[in-house]
Structure 1
Amino acid sequence: MASPSVLPSLGEDWNYYQSLLPTKSTPYFILTFMVMIIAYAWTSSIDSSVKKLPLVNPAGFFSKNKVKQEYRRSARDILEKAKKLYPDQPYRMITDFGEVVILPSKFMDEIRNEPKLSFVGGIAQDGTIHIPGFEPFRELSDPSALVQTMTKKQLTHFLSKVTEPLSEEGSRAISLNFGESKEWRELALRPAILDIIARMSSRVFLGEELCQNEDWLEITKDYTVTFSGAAFELVAYPVALRKFVHWFLPICKALRAKSARAQAVIAPVIAKRVELRRAAQEAGEEIPYFNDALDWLDQEAKAKGANYSPDSIQLLLSFVAIHTSSDLLGQVILDICQHPEIIPEIREEIVRELRANGWKKTTLYNMKLLDSIMKESQRLKPIGSAIIRRSVTEDVRLSNGLLLKKGMRIHMDGLRMQDEKVYENANEWDPKRFLNMRTQAGKEHMAQFVTTSADHFGFGHGEHACPGRFFASNELKVALCHLLLKYDWELAPGTDVKPLMRGFSTLTNPTAKVLIKRRENVELDIDSI
């Protein structure tokens, strides 16, 4: 469950959202004067050392829209070109977020824990978190850091207690989406994976009552897609105008409606829990406790004296889980389908570990081949090609003398994870790459899926590394255990497995289809463990 980018992937909805955007540059003609003022103010505040950095996709005032469209289509190509032209050097790039400084990964350890470089500040700079419907992402910038604390402290601590519930819900969700037929049939992968992850995540975040609530599940899935489209459309306008134009955009209206629906679904659940606790206290009985994120958040909020919106945080948690975990799960399945020779070994490992220890956190830890496969798929196709993004809150001078001024944005080139200097045969999917790395002295820990480093930062790195990655790891492994033991898989003829690139976002192909059937002879009935 990685930290969300401000522009999540759009999937098959890309064409729809693109059709909503004004064609050519008509609205930009109207806004040109304001854009020029903003651009001048920004460039005049940049330190001279930054101005000297090469701009890899330069544009005049009247061609900036064209350059941004090119960024949306070919951001990774621009990054690769820049890496060849300016190896190990910072440079500037025009993006949907304005002009940003791209740092090569050699600066990773230098900036990863720098307190003057803010993750949440980058989100705030987009001018969307105070727009109705975007409230969940406002919670990330709250000084109490309630979400981050709950995730690091409570969610990770209770992993051993949620493994069995994850398996129960995963089994139910997978059967619902993939069926029990022993005949080959073709289906679209993405919708099924979205639903499975939504149901499994909701079991832990909201408990049994809401994880099977069809209204809530529909809201969380719709919110994820609608938020993606709304964010995508809003960045077509200058930041200063976004707080006004959102009122006139149909997709932003839809986002507000989904946020309101989420509150309507969660409010009665919270009220019911309050009443149960009040009644138990009056009767002198044990106060009921629900081992889910609703209760964990309540505990942390009371400890910190913080106010929070339960529905907003739940939408945030669901969004991050659906956006990142479902994308990676889909990619792992596609990669395995392209390398079916590895399936018998994966099944043997799953059966061996589950038969020996059952559904425990340690069991999942010992599935080291499965762990290696997940890390390798994430290495080759991370959620973005420029994963580390920060806002400069105070001036910072880097070791090479470059002064990053307050208010600037920086991104980090993520191409190191596919660099031949770092990984042998870097562009090939090697399921045992990280399994073999565990046998090398000093690399045992670094090779684990949840470990971040300057060579593999699919979950970010440093202070702002994804705090939910331990939960995501367990959730994905549980889902894959059911999917691989219970079903046979093949790619559907003619399916496209090439990732979809949209700006810095890199999405598992949303059109991919698979052939699937329930297996006749299963080595282990994992539902009875």
Structure 2
Amino acid sequence: MDDLRFLILYGVLAGAVLASFRKAFHDRKLDTIPVIGSSGFLSSYWDAFKFFHHAPDLIQRGYDQYPEGIFRVARLFRWDYVVCGPKLIKDIAGAPENVISFTAGLEETLQPNFTVGRAITKNLYHHHVIRTTLTRNLHACFPEVRDEIVCAFNDVLQLQGSDWKTLPVLPTTMAIVARVSNRLFVGLPLCRNKAYLANNVRHTIDVVRTARKISLFPSFLWPLIGPLISTKNKTNARALPFLGPLIEERLSKERELGPDWPGKPNDYISWLLDLAEGDERAALPLTVRILAANMAAIHTSSAAFTYALFDLTTYPEYLLPMREEAERVVKEEGWTKAALNSMVKVDSFLRESQRINTNGPVGMRRRVVAKDGFRFSNGTVLPYGAYLSVALRPTHYDESNYEKAATFDGFRFARERAEHLANHNHNDNQDIFKRHMISTAVDHMPFGTGKHACPGRFFAATELKAMMAHLVINYDVQAEVDGVQPANEVFNARATPSATRKVRFRKRQ
């Protein structure tokens, strides 16, 4: 019994048995919610195992049968509920956090208590910083972002003359995004420190991998398994020598000269210090917040730009029109944040890439936390503790939402914006705004929608559009194998771009 491995194995087996009974004898009122697959005691477990690698097919099948309803799918230790249709999605989007919780929904997908730290989930003041202060400063900080994009592409790609160079896309984009994001987070010179950046990229990968492993166990074992396999303490220890002195210097300046001391950097560290209180005003807690921001930025923006590069090399006919647009706008308006708003084709291409390349078959994961459950507008009630999500990929591929929905149409949204302007008053910007990359809706949810729409989407869109414009102006790109779209890596309810697929780069001649 002193053998830890035996205890863990015993706990897993006991958990599986207990979870089996819990799932077999669940609330019979939920039997009215249809099952995709089987509800049998053993057969549902077979469906749960199939879900690991066939989740997109199962979710699509459910959506086809219940396009405006709710269905359930078997998971190893429970049922998951999948919501379809704009009416029910709006119910989720508008629900209070104390009824269906965004934070509790993250428990399984990212396991933040163990991969990042409990302080992050207990106090979300960094969300306010990202949603307000960071977003307001995008115009002022754009010259620094632009400068880092230029330097990062040069340093990471390391192209010579007119020769083509084949590079793995995801690691390459992660390196670039890490540098560009950290120019805004911590500034020069730290944003170019290779060891510091490597730790941030490693942390991003570790969070995703560790969360996957923890989620393979029943939830009552998470507090045991999580600390055993978490790498967050090691990550924090590696980050502190870089961030600790910088943070201590800022705190010292505040104590000596006040919160608005002369020469105070306009970056994420300063914005955090403006709101941090009590124990949060120390090197380690602020380091944890900076690592969390890195993880979110690197994970999401790297995947989005990787998908966009795959789409650009699969459909190369879009490169020249975007290049022409970007060169014209830069000539007329310069490299400014405002100029990006005029790059309608670049914006449309990225928005369409996000629509086609979802990060899994489901999104907007939530957990019911109200003791009396959550009632949808159609009368369906999900009980306390139930996990739910929306059918993300099927919604994006629904012909009733998008014409030729399964076909990549890079300028789909640019064309819609032009048609709207031609048919409506030019001062009517409300509908046209719905077609921007940053816009969320019940039929377009890369950034979610409603109360918990991604607070960092304005920075992400600025970063991605500036990177794409820089790329098409200064580089040629080709697929490693012409006409072949790399397959995504699918596991459970998550999909990620291939980490090994490559693209050829060349300096534009």
The equivalent of 2:266 in structure 1 is: 291
2:500 is equivalent to residue 511 of structure 1? yes
Cα pair distance change 1:464/1:396, threshold 3 Å: same
| Preserved contact between residue 314 and residue 485 of structure 2 (Cα < 8 Å) | no
1:95 to 75, 78, 92: 75
Instruction: Give the distance between the partners of 2:21 and 2:173, measured in 1 at CA.
Output: 46
C-alpha deviation, 1:519, in angstroms: 1.2
**1:77-96 correspondence runs (5 A):** 77-95=57-75
The equivalent of 2:193 in structure 1 is: 213
2:210 to 230, 234, 241: 230
What letter is aligned with 2:12?
L
C-alpha deviation, 1:194, in angstroms: 0.6
2:159 is equivalent to residue 180 of structure 1? yes
C-alpha deviation, 1:216, in angstroms: 1.5
2:409 is equivalent to residue 430 of structure 1? yes
The equivalent of 1:500 in structure 2 is: 489
What letter is aligned with 1:516?
F
1:346 to 305, 322, 340: 322
The equivalent of 2:95 in structure 1 is: 114
The equivalent of 2:427 in structure 1 is: none
Deviations 1:138-192 (A, max 9, x none): 35532x5302110111011001012111111111111112123211222211111
2:303 is equivalent to residue 327 of structure 1? yes
**1:416-455 correspondence runs (5 A):** 416-438=395-417, 439-440=419-420, 441=424, 443-455=431-443
The equivalent of 1:371 in structure 2 is: 347
| Preserved contact between residue 322 and residue 346 of structure 2 (Cα < 8 Å) | yes
The two structures, once aligned, show a CA RMSD in angstroms of 2.7
Cα pair distance change 1:256/1:359, threshold 3 Å: same
The equivalent of 1:171 in structure 2 is: 150
Unaligned runs of 5+ in 2: 425-429
| Preserved contact between residue 347 and residue 485 of structure 1 (Cα < 8 Å) | yes
Deviations 1:432-479 (A, max 9, x none): 110111132563111111000011111000000001101000000111
Instruction: Give the distance between the partners of 1:194 and 1:57, measured in 2 at CA.
Output: 38
Cα pair distance change 1:86/1:433, threshold 3 Å: same
The equivalent of 2:382 in structure 1 is: 404
Deviations 1:199-242 (A, max 9, x none): 00011011113211222101110011111111111122111112
Cα pair distance change 1:129/1:320, threshold 3 Å: closer
**1:9-408 correspondence runs (5 A):** 31-41=12-22, 46=27, 48-58=28-38, 66-95=46-75, 98-106=78-86, 107-115=88-96, 116-124=99-107, 128-131=111-114, 133-135=115-117, 138-142=118-122, 144-181=123-160, 182-249=162-229, 252=230, 254-280=231-257, 286-302=261-277, 309-394=285-370, 395-408=373-386
Please give the secondary structure, in 1, of the residue aligned with 2:432. coil
What letter is aligned with 1:201?
S
What letter is aligned with 1:366?
S
Unaligned runs of 5+ in 1: 1-21, 521-529
| Preserved contact between residue 188 and residue 514 of structure 1 (Cα < 8 Å) | yes
C-alpha deviation, 1:262, in angstroms: 2.0
Instruction: Give the distance between the partners of 2:209 and 2:55, measured in 1 at CA.
Output: 18
Deviations 1:499-522 (A, max 9, x none): 2222221222222211111112xx
Deviations 1:104-127 (A, max 9, x none): 133111221111111002234679
Cα pair distance change 1:126/1:512, threshold 3 Å: closer
After superposing the two structures, state which structure 1 stretch, 148-157 or 254-263, moved more: 254-263
What letter is aligned with 2:14?
F
| Preserved contact between residue 101 and residue 410 of structure 1 (Cα < 8 Å) | yes
The equivalent of 2:453 in structure 1 is: 465
2:465 to 453, 469, 477: 477
After superposing the two structures, state which structure 1 stretch, 322-331 or 259-268, moved more: 259-268
Cα pair distance change 1:355/1:127, threshold 3 Å: closer
Please give the secondary structure, in 2, of the residue aligned with 1:511. coil
Cα pair distance change 1:454/1:128, threshold 3 Å: closer
**TM-score, normalised via structure 2 length:** 0.88
C-alpha deviation, 1:313, in angstroms: 1.1
Cα pair distance change 1:420/1:397, threshold 3 Å: same
What letter is aligned with 2:149?
G
**TM-score, normalised via structure 1 length:** 0.85
Instruction: Give the distance between the partners of 1:126 and 1:381, measured in 2 at CA.
Output: 18
Structure with greater contact order relative to length (CA < 8 Å, sep ≥ 6): 1
Instruction: Give the distance between the partners of 1:375 and 1:119, measured in 2 at CA.
Output: 24
| Preserved contact between residue 139 and residue 313 of structure 1 (Cα < 8 Å) | no
After superposing the two structures, state which structure 1 stretch, 107-116 or 197-206, moved more: 107-116
Instruction: Give the distance between the partners of 1:102 and 1:232, measured in 2 at CA.
Output: 20
Instruction: Give the distance between the partners of 1:506 and 1:45, measured in 2 at CA.
Output: 29
C-alpha deviation, 1:97, in angstroms: 7.2
Please give the secondary structure, in 2, of the residue aligned with 1:322. helix
Please give the secondary structure, in 2, of the residue aligned with 1:387. strand
Cα pair distance change 1:278/1:145, threshold 3 Å: closer
| Preserved contact between residue 280 and residue 288 of structure 1 (Cα < 8 Å) | no
| Preserved contact between residue 357 and residue 363 of structure 1 (Cα < 8 Å) | yes
Instruction: Give the distance between the partners of 1:289 and 1:519, measured in 2 at CA.
Output: 39
C-alpha deviation, 1:248, in angstroms: 4.5
Cα pair distance change 1:97/1:446, threshold 3 Å: farther
Please give the secondary structure, in 2, of the residue aligned with 1:330. helix
Instruction: Give the distance between the partners of 2:139 and 2:75, measured in 1 at CA.
Output: 42
| Preserved contact between residue 496 and residue 512 of structure 1 (Cα < 8 Å) | no
Cα pair distance change 1:146/1:286, threshold 3 Å: closer
Instruction: Give the distance between the partners of 1:427 and 1:227, measured in 2 at CA.
Output: 32
Deviations 1:316-360 (A, max 9, x none): 111111111011101111111122222121111111111222222
Please give the secondary structure, in 1, of the residue aligned with 2:181. helix
| Matched length | 485
- The percentage of counterpart residues that share the same residue type is 25
What letter is aligned with 1:72?
F
| Preserved contact between residue 382 and residue 458 of structure 1 (Cα < 8 Å) | yes
| Preserved contact between residue 449 and residue 473 of structure 1 (Cα < 8 Å) | yes
